[in-house]
Amino acid sequence: MLAKRIIPCLDVLGGKVVKGENFIGLKDAGGIAGLAAKYSGEGADELVFLDIAASGERRLAKGGWIKKAASALNIPFTVGGGISGIGQIREILRMGADKISLNTAAINNPSLVRDASEKFGAQCVVVAIDARNENGAWRVYSYGGKVSTGLDALAWAKQCEKLGAGEILLTSIDRDGTGKGFDCELTGQVAGIVGIPVIASGGAGSPRDFLDVFTKGKADAALAAGIFHYGSIRIGEVKGYLCDNGVGVRLEK
């Protein structure tokens, strides 16, 4: 049976891992190499590295750390942040990333999703959607949650699938960094209308939140950063809790 995945996310800024609340007020959480090795050892199923300044400053993720991560990790990892062209995607995959994540560039230039999927395969194209609830509807934000696009998150997710995305990384800006739990309603609605895997993100605060997003939210994977970085919850605890509650996860033997 396909296991539900637990994915620690490492937000990278200037070569360091950081995590903030509601995307502002960033705190330093530690070095990339150390955290990557720690998570892999603790049973993370995958890692996501997001260069959060890259899109805002309109520059691409610098590559040195990607090679380091690739040589150290025996699990898959995704790189995102400021990726806006096919050449960059090829370069990042060549440095050893398994997948790339497109966010702002996909909104500004949807054909990039199609081109990347045709060239490198849907399995390595993740589209990240940052959504905020506005008067009962979820709206898509770009540039790291700063710019409102006016796009409807459900319609945009569906379009991404049609363009050839292999997965949707869905972040609730409202919940991000709050520890109040994933937005199961948003996740469930998106997972219900697309035929590709959905990774839920934003709001993880307890093992129970993961159970809820896999059952009520119908997520295929769940991503979290802060709670893992600061050691308030360990991946093993989350997986043990999920296993006890009948959710299939990969446990280290």
Partner 1 sequence: MGNLGSVSYALKRMGKASSIIHGPKAVEEYDGLIIPGVGSFGPAMERLETFRDGIIGFAQSGKPMLGICLGMQVLFEQGTERGTHEGLSLIGGKVEMLKGTPKLPHVGWNTIELEGKSRLMERIPNRSYAYFAHSYACEPDFKGSIIATTGYGNTFVSAVEQGNVLGVQFHPEKSGAIGELILKNFMELAKECK
Q: Would you tell me which residues interact with partner 1 (CB under 8 A)?
A: 1-3, 5, 40, 45, 70-71, 74-76, 93-96, 98, 118-124, 166-167, 195-197, 220-221, 250, 252-253
Q: How far is the CB of 56 from partner 1 (least distance, A)?
A: 29
Cβ atoms of 23 and 172 within 8 Å: the answer is: no
The full 3-state SS of 179-240, as one line of letters, equals CCCCCHHHHHHHHHHCCCCEEEECCCCCHHHHHHHHHCCCCCEEEECHHHHCCCCCHHHHHH
Cβ atoms of 52 and 81 within 8 Å: the answer is: yes
Cβ atoms of 152 and 140 within 8 Å: the answer is: yes
Q: How far is the CB of 72 from partner 1 (least distance, A)?
A: 8
Q: How far is the CB of 108 from partner 1 (least distance, A)?
A: 25
What's the CA dihedral at 85, 88, 94, 98 to 10 degrees? Answer: -60
Q: Which of residues 93 and 131 has its CB atom nearest to partner 1 in the complex?
A: 93
Q: How far is the CB of 132 from partner 1 (least distance, A)?
A: 26
Sequence-distant (≥ 6) Cβ neighbours of residue 231 within 8 angstroms: none
Q: How far is the CB of 21 from partner 1 (least distance, A)?
A: 29
Which residue of the set 45, 51, 130, 183 is catalytic?
130
Helix (H), strand (E) counts: the chain? 11, 12
* CB neighbourhood size of 195 (10 A): 7
Q: How far apart are CA 208 and CA 36, in angstroms?
A: 24
11 annotated active-site: yes
3-class DSSP assignment, residue 92: helix
User: Is the four-CA dihedral 161, 103, 130, 127 of positive or negative sign?
Assistant: positive
* Six token digits for residue 4: 């539900």
Q: How far is the CB of 159 from partner 1 (least distance, A)?
A: 17
Positions annotated as catalytic residues are: 11, 130
